[in-house]
Amino acid sequence: MPEIQYGTEKLAFHLEYTDRKSMAIEVHPDKSIWVIAPAETDYSEIQKRVIKRARWIIKQQKYFDQFLPRIPERKYVSGESHKYLGRKYVLKTFMNKQKDIKLQGGIIKVSSPHQDPQVVKALLSSWYYNHAIVKFKEVFKESLPLFDRFDIGNPQMEIRRMKNRWGSCTPKGKILVNPELIKVPKRCIQYVVIHELCHLVIPGHTKKFYELLAELMPDWPRWKNRLEVERSL
């Protein structure tokens, strides 16, 4: 997702190209920012317009923020729901000499010598991260053949925690993926990986970029929208 820096604020926005004659910037009730631009608009012009409207954008987000539901923080105790690959599991903690995590039916069982929530949180975070390594490598390997006709070299993937992004592509061509993606459906993970790999072919979020993304993953808007929903849960 494209973004601009405005003071200490990073404003990430959705970009949509249409046949309209003028550019529009909208802030939706979920605080998301949408830029609707004429088809041939240069990306640098879009950035300038967002920066120009940044103060208004932040004001609108603060206004809508008061109406958003407050999501309780995870307490890491039995009975809570936690997600893995898009499915909800009920957390159950057990006293055991051995530390262990298992998925059984709709339950995620966490065993440890202590049922302290911080211990459970640490175990679960480690479990998620280790599973992310395996699953993301699998998705990355499956996605690379889509780019065989392009000269993108031998791209590398790295798992990195990011506060406001699901994925990123560094100037040196490394694909960064947020480990939190292990909680969403596999198709969402594929969307993020393919999106970032497309940046190795077309750096900016131009019309040609979205045309390439649509060619390689025709249903990408569905999974992008699913990610936006997941971000608010």
Same domain, 173 and 210: yes
Domain containing 118 equals 81-127
Same domain, 142 and 116: no
Crossing angle (nearest 10°) for helices 117-143 and 186-198: 60
Q: Does some domain include residue 170?
A: yes
Would you state the structure tokens that stand for residue 214, as one six-digit string?
């649509």
In the three-class reduction of DSSP (H, G, I as helix; E, B as strand; rest coil), residue 187 is classed as helix
pTM of structure:
0.74
> How far is residue 165's CA from residue 195's CA, in Å, rounded to a whole number?
12
Same domain, 113 and 151: no
Same domain, 190 and 209: yes
Q: Does some domain include residue 147?
A: yes
Q: In what order do the strands lie in the sheet with 9-18?
A: 3-6, 9-18, 33-38, 24-27
Would you state the structure tokens that stand for residue 228, as one six-digit string?
């936006």
Same domain, 85 and 157: no
Same domain, 226 and 142: yes
Same domain, 48 and 88: no
Show pLDDT as tens, one digit a residue, over the chain (233 residues): 788 999 988 899 988 888 888 999 999 877 889 999 998 899 999 999 999 999 999 999 888 777 665 556 789 999 999 999 999 999 999 999 999 999 999 999 999 998 899 999 999 999 999 999 999 999 999 999 999 999 999 999 999 988 778 998 988 889 999 999 999 999 999 999 999 999 999 988 888 999 999 999 999 999 988 887 776 55
Same domain, 57 and 112: no
Which DSSP state fits 80?
-
Same domain, 157 and 196: yes
Count of domains for the chain: 3
The backbone torsions φ and ψ at residue 122, rounded to the nearest 5 degrees and listed phi first, read: -65, -45
Q: Does some domain include residue 95?
A: yes
